[in-house]
Amino acid sequence: MTAHRLTGYRVDPDLSPGHGIDRDAGITVTVDGASVPAFTGDSIASALIASGRLGCGPSIHMSRPRGILAAGVEEPNALLRIEARTPGAPSESMLPATTVDAVDGLSAHWLQGMGVLDPAGDDAYYDRKYVHTDVLVVGAGPAGIAAAREASKTGARTVLLDEQSAPGGSLLSGRDETIDDTEAVAWACAALDRLTAQPDFTYMRRTTAIGSYDANYVVAVERSAADVAAPASAGVARARIWHIRAKRVVLATGAHERPLVFADNDRPGIMLAGAVRTYLNRYAAAAGQRIVLATTNDSVYALLEDLHTAGIAVPVVVDSRPEPSDRARAALEATGARGVFGAAVVGTSANGQADASDTGGTADRGRVTAVSFASVDGSGRPAGAVETVPADTLAVSGGHSPVLHLHTQRQGRTRWDEAFAGFVPEAPVSGQSVVGSANGAVSLGTALEQGAHAGHAAAAETGARGPLVVPTASASAPGPVHPLWLIASPGAPAGPHGPTAPRAPADSEAPTTAQPLAGNGTPALAPEHWASHFVDLQRDQTVADVLRAVGAGMRSVEHIKRYTSISTANDQGKTSSVNAMGVIASLLEDADPASVGTSTNRPPYTPVAFAALAGRRRGDLYEPARVTNIQPWHVAHGAEFEDVGQWKRPRYFPRAGEDMDAAVLRECAAVRTSVGFQDASTLGKIEIRGADAPEFLNRIYTNGFKKLAVGKGRYGLMCGADGMLFDDGVTMRLAEDRFLMTTTTGGAAGVLDWLEEWHQTEWPDMDVLFTSVTEQWNTIAVAGPRSRDVIATIAPDIDVANESFGFMEFRETQLSNGIPARICRISFSGELAFEVNVPTFYGLAAWELVDDTGQEFGITPYGTETMHVLRAEKGLVIIGQDTDGTVTPQDAGMGWAVSKLKDFVGKRSFQRTDTARPDRKHFVGVLPVDGVTRLDEGAQLIAAGTPVTPEAGPVPMIGHVTSSYLSAELGRPFGLALVENGFNRMGEIVRSPVGGTLVDVEITSSVFIDPEGKRRDG
């Protein structure tokens, strides 16, 4: 301990319990290139403190020297980038050194408040789990363990989550405490050992509950032990997201300590008192050798005793309370330390008195060298002589803020507890309870009592009962708290007032200092005197910034947070939020922090890697790919695939050297001149049975289905109640009371729901039932003038001649290789065509049979793109491509399929004035006049002569291109479009933008080939 400037050190075993470290397991970590010895169990922060390296990266905006402030997730200063731990793993930024376990060989660098996402990506294994429990306890401190113990012993399923790697929570930071006459940390470990032997008890360490949602749905992140100790094996998650549904939740989440707001309160060496105690007792790491304590409450006196025992000098305890409490008096007497009451720290001196321009320096750059304190008056102004004592560390406690993120995420309300000087739950959320210091409990005995009762009651509420046993520990009455929100610098103009609690009513005893508020209600304080009173260390925001926000007229903490950015860094203001409210309330002379509003927290409680949230939903597990049984053939034959909903459908089958255009032209030509085949299995199929099925279909389809003969099919249109096209397809009559309906690929599920909805809600008395058989069948479309030859060969038992197997008829048969099949004459291209339906198991074999049989005709597989072109040449609409929910059958040129004789869903909407007007957008063909330019799908159409300059805008549009292709048959590009009054514009030349210029486009009929329908019969 003699080295110059070396202030922190590792405390000998006889002077510190070091609950958290294994002194026999020495390891080394590297921080900014320097080797730092550590023990297994250390955090990076504790290893650094034990090595006298308390300084971290400078502050984000002002580049002020900073050091480690805290010992947990609330740390605002000490942010690290951790280098890749395993080859291929990413580096990670913005990790507080206080939360990173020291692992041998780990290398890290300090950040200046901002990190960079590793551009190499993160290919580590992350996954998730869904679990259910009767009782979920968050936090394995004394209250949480007591709750889990009482819940679990009833037989209730119990899950205990804790962010630490060892159980005990606050007990790990203490010493000499006992529970049930056992040393407290040993009690915690023994309790967990017994619990984990229970069959339905789960203890998850290194697991942080990050979000709490309706119905006690809690999301937590578990960081794996494997990641800490060794490279993870394949399949072992580096982090796992737990989705937990609990019947009851017990929040035992503890409290965070608040800093004090005085001049230069951000210097390295100024630490939270509780953190100094954690480092001393859990990690045997002394933060310094001369430590001044400054407090508003009793909590620092345990630290005073521990420092005394460890042989560390405490020159003075500066306590804001006018009188020593019983606890303070006893500790001061026992340790012989000096206590000063009614006083506050008003400033510090530092190494080199480093300022913002000082960017060099050592690990101790800017570190505290002396602490100045003085008596403060009722307005927080130094009232007496300023005294300065040398010190290397200042441990501060501005009070405690219960950790209520999970409570407020559920809209749980909080109230300001005057005696505790913190926000505590007004009442727990339904189905939850809040216990221990999260509920404002100060003594260990009270925390254990609250926890045990809550765990017992939670289990009982799920129907599990057992005897209640409350662990015993000391339960001394808490001493008073005297918060200090603003501590003026000596010589600076006074603040409006100082301590706000206890406070007299504002109208009875106005502050005697200068007029606190200007006439317009804004504070009269000069910001320049408050520019180093830090409120949010991570955002570098000071009281001066709050003054500017208040001066700009803001009053609510929600507004001031956003104006200043206080509490919006990735620590979510764990150390700054309540202090900001106290500062604002003081400046506005409000009674307490609650009067300026409360802040509600949003998930996540601590940052979570996006890669962890993504889990396994990436790469080929990103989204399910639905495939047909014929898929292997498509892959083997080089298909390019298209996503249609979740289906992967072959889009085209390029040959060597072909692009999509060339392949599609070739495939189209094959169908028009010989024969092609397509996997059409994805079309929706619904089998319908019922005596009323014909009438039901009659009501659903716009065209008639009652008279459809058995053995025949009919193309039908469905509209929504608004009269707009909704789906289409062919329905076949299998028997008097049986039909097989086909739907669009994307519409299958929606159509089934639609049928069920009308049946169940409107016509429940009809005898009709539906079953989806989409996946029961594979469908192979065989199209082209030679398709009849192919079908004749593969289906030798049926007569395929035109006069015996008519259009829209079907036959049940066996293929030549014995496969049972239903063959239909259906065309979606205008050509002679068939669809061969076989049970799914036989899809690939049937496909290969068609392929083999068709070889002599040069049969060509085609994909969805060719199918689109072929139907477009024939003017056949694709619902969802050429329609958009605003198109009636009449608009689409299919008035012929709308019955005038019967009622059906959507019919009445055709009488609406707007639906009936003759100049709606109509489905027409569009031909680029130059015969070579392909129009863009989605491109707007404008009338000829319409000016398009910005000055003339907005440009009136008359429609848009819905489909556009090259046509082998036409020898030119063509398209389909929806155009205002299109049926009455035939031959009109309009314009459409292509590549920045306007091209002339002729409006035509949507039917480009074979308008007489001669090809259909071959």
**Of these, 711, 750, 993, 1018, which contacts other proteins (CB under 8 A)?**
711
Asked if 741 and 688 count as a contact pair (C-beta separation under 8 A), the reply is yes
* Contact criterion met (CB below 8 Å) for 690 and 737: yes
Asked if 798 touches other proteins (CB under 8 A), the answer is: yes
Taking the least distance from each CB to other proteins, the nearer of 581 and 748 is: 748
Residue linked to tokens 């000071």 = 542
- Residue 883 and residue 891: Cα distance in Å, rounded? 10
Considering only residues 533, 539, 574, 811, which one is a binding residue for other proteins as defined by CB under 8 A?
811
610 vs 841, beta carbon nearer other proteins? 841
Rounded to an integer, what distance in angstroms lies between the CA atom of residue 1004 and that of residue 983? 9
Closest approach, Cβ 212 to other proteins, in A, equals 17
> Which parts of 488-517 interact with other proteins (CB under 8 A)?
none
Applying CB under 8 A, the span of 84-92, 253-261, 811-819, 895-903 interacting with other proteins comes to 811-819
At its nearest, how many Å lie between other proteins and the CB of residue 345?
52
Distance, in Å, from the CA atom of 1012 to the CA atom of 1007, rounded to the nearest integer, reads 10
| Site map (CB under 8 A) of other proteins, residues 183-222, x = contact | -----------------x----------------------
Q: What are phi and psi of 455, to 5 degrees?
A: -65, -45
Q: Which residues pair with 79 in a beta bridge?
A: 96
Contact 19, 405 (CB under 8 A): no
Report the C-alpha gap between 661 and 482 in whole angstroms.
79
Two tokens, residue 49: 């403190």
Q: Give the shortest CB-775-to-other proteins separation in angstroms.
A: 5
Among 57, 179, 170, CA closest to 109: 57
Distance CA 460, CA 451 (A): 14
For position 804 contacting other proteins by CB under 8 A, the verdict is yes
Size of the site for other proteins (CB under 8 A): 68
Does 814 engage in binding with other proteins (CB under 8 A)? yes
In the complex, least distance from residue 343 CB atom to other proteins, rounded to whole angstroms: 57
Candidates 485, 605, 805, 1008; binder of other proteins (CB under 8 A) is 805
955 binds other proteins (CB under 8 A): no
Q: Is 845 in the site for other proteins (CB under 8 A)?
A: yes
The footprint of other proteins on residues 634-663 (CB under 8 A) is: 647
Contact pattern from residue 668 through residue 707 relative to other proteins, giving x for each residue in contact according to CB under 8 A and a dash for the rest? --------------x----x-xxx----------------
Task: Figure out which of the listed residues 132, 194, 908, 912 binds other proteins, where binding follows CB under 8 A.
Answer: 132
User: Which of 51, 629, 827, 883 forms a contact with other proteins (CB under 8 A)?
Assistant: 629
Binding of residue 130 to other proteins (CB under 8 A)? yes
Closest by Cα among 718, 713, 684 to 703: 718
Cβ atoms of 137 and 156 closer than 8 Å = no
> Closest CB to other proteins among 598 and 681?
681
Binding-site member from 10, 66, 157, 714 for other proteins (CB under 8 A): 157
Half-sphere exposure of 660 toward its Cβ, with a 13 Å CA cutoff? 13
List all residues 6 or more positions away from 737 whose beta carbon is below 8 Å from its beta carbon. 689, 690, 691, 693
As measured in angstroms, the least distance from the Cβ of 627 to other proteins is: 6
Burial class, 994, CB count within 10 angstroms (exposed 0-12 / middle 13-18 / buried 19+): middle
Phi, psi for residue 478 in degrees, rounded to 5? -70, 145
Tell me whether residue 159 or residue 304 sits nearer to other proteins (CB atom). 159
Find out whether 807 and 816 touch, Cβ atoms under 8 Å.
Answer: no
759 secondary structure, DSSP code = I
Residue number, 682 or 964, with CB nearest to other proteins: 682
Q: Which stretch in 379-387, 434-442, 722-730, 812-820 sits in contact with other proteins by CB under 8 A?
A: 812-820
Q: How far is CA 57 from the centre of its chain?
A: 29
Footprint (CB under 8 A) of other proteins, residues 820-839: 820, 839
Stretch of 18-26, 110-118, 255-263, 773-781 lying at the interface with other proteins (CB under 8 A) = 773-781
**What whole-number distance in Å separates Cα of residue 94 and Cα of residue 705?**
67
Nearest partner of 849 among 801, 816, 824, 813, judged by Cα: 816
The DSSP bridge partners found for residue 257 are: 400
Q: Which residue bears the tokens 């609990």?
A: 246
959-978: contacts with other proteins (CB under 8 A): none
**Considering the complex, what minimum distance in angstroms separates the CB of residue 685 from other proteins?**
10
Task: Considering the complex, state which of residue 224 and residue 568 has its C-beta at the smaller distance from other proteins.
Answer: 224
State the first-to-last Cα distance of the chain, in angstroms, to the nearest integer: 101
Q: Which residues bind other proteins (CB under 8 A)?
A: 125, 127-132, 157, 200, 233-237, 243, 245, 616-617, 620-621, 623-629, 631-632, 647, 682, 687, 689-691, 711, 737, 767, 769-777, 797-799, 804-805, 809, 811-814, 817-820, 839-845
